[in-house]
Structure 1
């Protein structure tokens, strides 16, 4: 049976319906899931757990504050997965997070691992916030990835600039891991040094599992460089330094990259007399709010952060702020908002993403190992 209403009554009903719909606002669930994909076992486990701890602390604070989206309290559930720093495992756990319908993902740590997971999150329209630094990742992400730190393009310039201006070196040797991180980094460093009229005497790749550096050390001994740039992780640098010391090369200054800036390396035997690292992940104490963050972290976890917990902590707040401003937990709307706002970032205080997802406020600090600690020497966002 068809029912006819007077035109005026229909208009009143329609208007009332619009008012009701507006009052209800967008559909917002009572809880959401945020994926954290990091290496929680193996050589990089300390860094992975550090990042997870940062996310957990921020989520707990937001939940305790009664975090709301569109006026509705929303509980944040952290779903952590272990990518084991392995490509196949990473692809598997990335798909698991997609299947669990997470709103966003904070991960992964290593560039070669992020490289294989970016297409999975992108296909599912799930924003990915990561600390990986290889330049090409942003291009691959095509607007769906958001880098929390400076990329390796800036880090390579920092390495070249510091070697040329502060160390006043002329001849430079490079050794790098043959990965999505090491290959472009060695290329960019070599180009940066070339522009500064410095000579790269050797530029050699090794597997990221290599621990026997006898052949490389023999070449260094035959033609000692003014500086050795080592794009390797701490589990490879330690045997390399031991073998360099045995060959009488302890006096060769070494400059490494952010992947090796660990407490383990800082406190290792001084097989190399002078060791520098550049890092896109700055120390918490380099930020005005860093001291307060460190106190809270120590209270919660009974230990100090080991690497980038403050970036992961800020990442959780960034996601929350974007959802709040979007009045939605929809992943697509979240991604759109991340591209347009200066979000809340309690520790770093300045986190903005460019159109392609690069970190607009990234900077690089040069550190020197001294008395078992990493002493900051200089920082710049320009180099």
Structure 2
């Protein structure tokens, strides 16, 4: 970390990294909000967490503003979780200085995008962000506790233009339903008009599950997800590195292996009537980009170990690309994060091949959904 960021003077105040001794002041600043306040416990976690930057502006002995930047493991995008300035210190450059430090900290971590949300009636904050190079990328109704809407803004630190598909976000509601949640997002993006919610999420899991995994509930395979999509009238094709059953090496018991293979045979049998439903072979980042360019939405199997430090297969939706990155909707939201932390996350193209493998067999799989012709 560049030492110049640890303490930087911007007269008549300084911007520095927060410490535990600042918790009282941080909590007091939050008290100025009518709702959506960050708790003292959350601030304590943020200050202690290496995946978070907490900046404070201090004048004499008083903390007059703060900014919290949250990072996601495995991605090169960050989010400004909050930026607040004490009322009596507004209009003196404090917000601009905090924003500058948030951006510099994100750049130092290698981030290419910084995102934030702001109340759509907060004209002074919106003006600051626009002057600082942020663009409005969307609006979310009823975002805040009082029912107010939020504008979603983003700033890119590189010049490449991103091609992003309009993919709605849906977070998985259960530990084992990343596949169904990802499929729901992708189906809606290609025109499926069914209801998105836990009932449909669980129904898809029941249809697509391999029944067993190393521990806990069974995962969902590419073949199973494609079957579930097709049953709902959505065009879906599978691209896998092997015709063998997925996840069979994740269990030791011969009986469980047999059940996984039985489920796989049922999926392949249902897909067999369409010669284009399954493709066996390696795929590359260029294949993913090609699908996106055609308006198709890839749902890709990745290793949760690289994203969430968990030994499990995980499904994500690829939502776009630029010259150097893919963009991802991740249905899993770690504790302390919210919807905005799972949307259009930037993933370096160079990391895709390693990320999109799972298990000892280095299994690779994706399901590509296409709009109706």
Common fold by TM > 0.5: no
TM-score interval for Structure 1 and Structure 2 normalised by the shorter chain = under 0.3
Higher helix share: 1
Q: Which has the larger radius of gyration?
A: 1
What TM-score comes out, normalization by structure 1 length?
0.27
Higher strand share: 2
Larger RCO, structures 1/2 (Cα 8 Å, 6+ apart): 1
What TM-score comes out, normalization by structure 2 length?
0.27
